């Protein structure tokens, strides 16, 4: 029987997984290089080591019954060293660590992505520049690996922008995807969990508003038609089955004129699923723990309307408990509040979305 869960990565996602696991009586060991990291504060034990330290990973292996991770950039040597206790396997990590591989896999699952060009070598970049001159358009060039919260992304509006990118940002050894800039109606996300027994459950669809490419707020239920909601849920189940998912998969979507495009995948609980902590019968973190432990999955029913507001390092007034009224505050215990760093979130629960949004506005404007 599983008694102790090992978590690779001790940031906010690890912390919230651990909180959910704790309330079900599990013990927690976390591996993270930062002493007293958000998850370390509530784990039984923290192994302080770098994420590519295979020996430290083996210590984690020996101190728990099952292992999960809070981020997709897990070193694959480490993932392989942990394979006997990693029900999620390393396959989904390999896919989601590289935007090119990820997009190919999404298309293999029979789903649509934005139009993109893979830039994998100097030759392919040179060809891409030639083609662009014949077909200039608005693009976002993204590094294929390692980007998050808009990091490693370059918006290209013209041939001049592309020349500037070539001179100042392009590295021959780095892979990129050049995506057509999409005029979407809305950004949505959907989170699906699956256990080893093949039980699948999908959370209600969230509508996401970004500011500076960082999630600002999630609105649930998403203000979309029942058909769109159904399509999003179909996308999620199709991907979970195609990928033989164990654990959690978060799917970011663009709602466009001609339907849903899959923007990107994350093989873990997701910022846009934090609303589940107060608005669903089961939170995404509890569901993730259930899935990796091959327990029955919980009920994902939405029990109230919710708007989730992220708290970033610059939002000092939102970190003050005196200012948040009756709303549900979740702070991650991070030592330093840097600009754009995710410090916590607030779930606003009201009878209807308009009221939630009004309350969120008051919080944002500090009145
Ligand atoms: P990450 O979340 O890993 O930083 P994303 O690919 O999700 O990277 O990009 C962040 C945000 O940038 C998206 O949520 C969306 O708002 C915007 N964005 C990304 N790709 C496109 C695109 N092809 N067209 C228009 N907007 C985009
Ligand atoms: Mg994203």
Cβ 147 under 6 angstroms from ligand 1: yes
Please give the structure tokens belonging to residue 137.
């358009």
pLDDT at residue 11 is higher than 90: yes
Ligand number with the minimum distance to the CA of 149: 1
Q: What is the pLDDT of residue 264?
A: 97
**Matching residue, tokens 């090119």:** 100
d(CA 165, CA 134): 18
Residue closest by Cα to atom 18 of ligand 1: 213
The residue contributing the CA closest to ligand 1 atom 14 is 213
**Ligand 1 atom 23, closest CA:** 181
- 118's CB contacts (< 8 A; 6+ apart) are 100, 124, 144, 175, 176, 177
Whether the pTM exceeds 0.85: the reply is yes
Q: Please determine, for residue 367, whether its predicted confidence score (pLDDT) is greater than 90.
A: no
Q: Ligand 1: does its nearest atom lie under 6 Å from the Cβ of 182?
A: yes
Distance 133 CA to ligand 2 centre (A): 28
Distance 252 CA to ligand 2 centre (A): 6
**Distance of CA 149 from the midpoint of ligand 1 (Å):** 8
How confident is the model over 139-196, as pLDDT tens digits? 999 999 998 888 999 999 999 999 999 999 999 999 999 999 999 999 999 999 999 9
Cα angle 278, 284, 289; round to 5: 125
> Per residue in 226-265, pLDDT tens?
999 999 999 999 999 999 999 999 999 999 998 999 999 9
End-to-end CA distance of the chain: 50
Average pLDDT over residues 93-112: 98
Greater confidence (150 vs 116) lies with 116
Ligand 1 contact via 221 beta carbon (within 6 Å): no
Indicate the average pLDDT of the chain.
97
The CA distance from 347 to 343, in Å, is 14
Whose tokens are 């509006």? That residue is 157
Cβ(148) – ligand 1 distance below 6 Å? yes
Q: Where are the alpha helices (DSSP H) in the chain?
A: 12-23, 54-62, 76-81, 91-96, 99-108, 122-134, 159-168, 226-242, 276-279, 284-292, 353-365
Q: What is the dihedral of CA 357, 251, 179, 167, to 10 degrees?
A: 90
Ligand 1 within 6 A of CB of 140: yes
Q: How far is the CA of 127 from the centre of ligand 1 (A)?
A: 24
**Structure tokens of 353?**
């979305």
* Burial track 337-360 (b if 16+ CB lie within 10 A, e otherwise): eeeeebbbbbbbbbeebeebbebb
Question: What share of the chain in percent tops pLDDT 90?
Answer: 98
Model pLDDT, residue 208: 98
Predicted local confidence at residue 150, as pLDDT: 87
Tell me the mean pLDDT in the region 107-117: 98
* 216 touches 150 (CB < 8 A): no
Beta carbon of 264 within 6 Å of any ligand 1 atom? yes
Is the previous residue joined to 54 through a cis bond, with omega within 30 degrees of 0? no
For ligand 1, mutation pick of 213, 273, 340 (most atoms within 8 Å of CB): 213
Asked if residues 147 and 218 have their Cβ atoms less than 8 Å apart, the reply is no
| Percent of the chain predicted with pLDDT > 70 | 100
Give me the numbers of helices (H) and strands (E) for the chain, helices first please: 11, 17
Protein residue closest via CA to atom 11 of ligand 1: 213
Minimal-distance CA residue to ligand 1 atom 9: 150
Q: Who's near 294: CB < 8 A, 6+ residues apart?
A: 87, 195, 196, 197
> What's the whole-number mean pLDDT along residues 333-358?
98
pLDDT tens readout for residues 58-86: 999 999 999 999 999 999 999 999 999 99
Is ligand 1 within 6 A of the CB of residue 211? no
What does the alpha-carbon distance between residue 367 and residue 358 come to, in Å, rounded to a whole number?
11
Mean pLDDT of 265-272: 98
């Amino acid at each position: 029987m599983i008694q102790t869960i090992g978590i690779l990565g001790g940031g906010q996602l690890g912390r919230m997984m651990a909180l959910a696991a704790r309330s079900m009586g599990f013990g927690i060991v976390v591996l993270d290089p930062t002493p007293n990291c958000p998850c370390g504060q509530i784990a039984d034990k923290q192994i302080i080591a770098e994420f590519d330290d295979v020996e430290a990973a083996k210590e984690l292996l020996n101190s728990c019954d099952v292992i999960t991770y809070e981020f997709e950039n897990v070193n694959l040597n480490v993932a392989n060293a942990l394979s006997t206790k990693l029900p999620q396997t390393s396959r989904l990590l390999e896919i989601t660590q590289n935007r090119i591989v990820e997009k190919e896999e999404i298309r293999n699952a029979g789903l649509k992505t934005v139009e993109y060009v893979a830039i994998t070598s100097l030759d392919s970049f040179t060809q891409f520049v030639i083609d662009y001159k014949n077909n200039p358009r608005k693009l976002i060039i993204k590094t294929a690996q390692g980007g998050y919260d808009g990091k490693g992304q370059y918006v290209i509006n013209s041939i001049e922008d592309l020349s500037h990118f070539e001179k100042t940002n392009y590295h021959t050894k780095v892979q990129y995807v050049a995506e057509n800039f999409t005029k979407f109606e809305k950004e949505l996300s959907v989170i699906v969990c699956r256990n080893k027994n093949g039980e699948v459950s999908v959370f209600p669809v969230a509508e996401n508003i970004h500011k500076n490419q960082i999630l600002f707020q999630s609105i649930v239920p998403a203000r979309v038609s029942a058909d769109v909601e159904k399509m999003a849920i179909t996308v999620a189940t199709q991907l979970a089955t195609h990928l033989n998912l164990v654990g959690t998969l978060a799917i970011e979507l663009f709602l466009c004129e001609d339907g849903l495009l899959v923007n990107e995948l994350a093989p873990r609980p997701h910022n846009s699923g934090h609303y589940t902590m107060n608005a669903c019968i089961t939170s995404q973190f509890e569901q993730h723990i259930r899935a990796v432990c091959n327990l029955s999955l919980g009920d994902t029913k939405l029990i109230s309307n919710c708007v989730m507001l992220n708290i970033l390092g610059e939002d000092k007034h939102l970190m003050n408990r005196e200012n948040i009224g009756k709303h549900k505050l979740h702070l991650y215990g991070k030592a330093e509040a840097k600009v754009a760093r995710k410090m916590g979130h607030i779930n606003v629960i009201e009878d209807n979305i308009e009221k939630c949004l009004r309350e969120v506005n008051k919080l944002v404007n500090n009145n």
